[in-house]
């Protein structure tokens, strides 16, 4: 055997081993590809893509919704609306209306002053029954009649107030301001001590000014109202605590956050004492305090009061109330910078809640 034969056999053996290694490597790669396909099927890839797109949509929706719905809206709107609720229809409404109309027809034959008084009585009857448009119509006629008569200041004051009250109930706050201011002026000129009439005029003026964002005038009227109803000799039935909350809310909207916070904190214990911790007024006061703290850079204190306001609103007005939705939207806006996931969940909850009420 020559020396070349062992060398040749060694080379052949080496080639065989290399071939075996190559095939083993190929088999291993094939094995990995097969098992990777089993571990990550196409459906899982599609699901991942869908979830990613859904997450992006939610994020974009949250940014748009939070910014639009709560960015400024709930920080500028009044939290209290002291308009009278629509009264229930009286069972004897038709008979009472007919009686008043007969009185008007009779008074018309007696003279202008009697006619104006009878029309004013009819207008007040409509006011008591929530027929604001009919009340305004009759009071306009009464005003014309009274203006052409002896111009009884007490009668003119009551007619002007009724016209302002009717306009306010119908959402015509600018028109209401004009009539209410005239009524207040007549009360001053007549030197009337009727604090009940003065109180009602001031209450409506505060609401009318607030509705039209005439906030400095609203604040002045509210301070005067509180002086009026806090007088020991006053016979007013107005609730001073609620009107202090109204004043606090006006201060909040005029960016007097220190004053607003102090008044809300002073009023809350009394509200809880008289109405319980879950009353609607407590919910609004907590909401006002939360908005004030949020504007004043007290984010954690704001979140605490948003949560308390939500709880009170849900228990007092129900899980689908407009107040609860407003609190959730504003709460989400405050959460946005610190916890956008919680903000998204809160916004979705408020939006879903709103959709269920429609």
Q: Is residue 327 part of a domain?
A: no
Q: Is residue 127 part of a domain?
A: no
Q: Which residue has the higher pLDDT, 237 or 178?
A: 178
Q: Is residue 55 part of a domain?
A: yes
Lowest mean pLDDT among 92-106, 150-164, 325-339: 325-339
The stretch 290-312 carries a mean pLDDT of 93
Give the predicted TM-score (pTM) of the model: 0.75
Of the spans 9-18, 49-58, 109-118, which averages the highest pLDDT?
Answer: 109-118
Nearest to 71 by CA among 330, 343, 305, 349: 330
In this structure, are residues 264 and 289 in contact, taking their beta carbons and an 8 Å threshold?
yes
Q: Is residue 97 part of a domain?
A: no
Tally of domains within the chain: 1
- The domain of 42 spans 4-62
Task: Output the pLDDT for position 233.
Answer: 75
Confidence of residue 355 (pLDDT cuts 50, 70, 90): very low
Q: Is residue 42 part of a domain?
A: yes
Nearest to 113 by CA among 157, 141, 163, 151: 151
Q: Is residue 39 part of a domain?
A: yes
In this structure, are residues 285 and 270 in contact, taking their beta carbons and an 8 Å threshold?
no
The whole-angstrom separation of Cα 329 and Cα 71 is 9
Q: Is residue 354 part of a domain?
A: no
Q: Crossing angle for the helix pair 153-169 and 195-211, nearest 10 degrees?
A: 40
The whole-angstrom separation of Cα 15 and Cα 9 is 10
Q: Is residue 24 part of a domain?
A: yes
């Amino acid at each position: 055997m020559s020396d070349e034969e062992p060398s040749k056999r060694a080379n052949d053996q080496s080639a065989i081993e290399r071939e075996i290694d190559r095939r083993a490597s190929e088999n291993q790669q094939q094995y990995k590809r097969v098992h990777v396909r089993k571990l990550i099927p196409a459906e899982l890839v599609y699901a991942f893509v869908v979830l990613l797109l859904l997450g992006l949509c939610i994020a974009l929706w949250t940014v748009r919704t939070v910014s639009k719905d709560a960015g400024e809206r709930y920080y500028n709107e009044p939290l209290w609306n002291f308009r009278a609720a629509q009264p229930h229809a009286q069972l004897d409404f038709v008979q009472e209306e007919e009686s008043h109309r007969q009185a008007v027809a009779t008074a018309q034959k007696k003279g202008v002053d009697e006619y104006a008084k009878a029309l004013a009585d009819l207008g007040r009857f409509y006011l008591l029954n929530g027929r604001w448009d009919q009340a305004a119509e009759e009071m306009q006629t009464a005003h014309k009649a009274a203006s052409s008569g002896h111009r009884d200041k007490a009668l003119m004051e009551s007619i002007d107030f009724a016209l302002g009250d009717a306009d306010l109930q119908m959402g015509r706050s600018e028109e209401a301001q004009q009539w209410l201011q005239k009524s207040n002026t007549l009360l001053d000129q007549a030197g009337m001590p009727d604090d009940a009439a003065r109180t009602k005029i001031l209450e409506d003026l505060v609401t009318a000014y607030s509705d039209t964002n005439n906030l400095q005038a609203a604040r002045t009227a509210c301070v005067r109202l509180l002086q009026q109803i806090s007088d020991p000799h006053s016979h007013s039935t107005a609730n001073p605590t609620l009107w202090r909350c109204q004043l606090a809310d006006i201060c909040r909207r005029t960016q007097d956050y220190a004053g607003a916070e102090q008044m809300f904190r002073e009023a809350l214990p009394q509200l809880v004492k008289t109405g319980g911790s879950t009353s609607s007024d407590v919910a609004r006061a907590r909401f006002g305090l939360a908005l004030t703290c949020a504007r004043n850079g007290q984010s954690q204190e704001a979140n605490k009061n948003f949560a308390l306001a939500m709880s009170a609103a849900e228990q007092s007005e129900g899980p689908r109330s407009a107040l609860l939705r407003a609190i959730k939207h504003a709460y989400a806006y405050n959460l946005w910078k610190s916890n956008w996931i919680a903000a998204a969940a809160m916004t979705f909850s408020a939006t879903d809640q709103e959709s269920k009420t429609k």
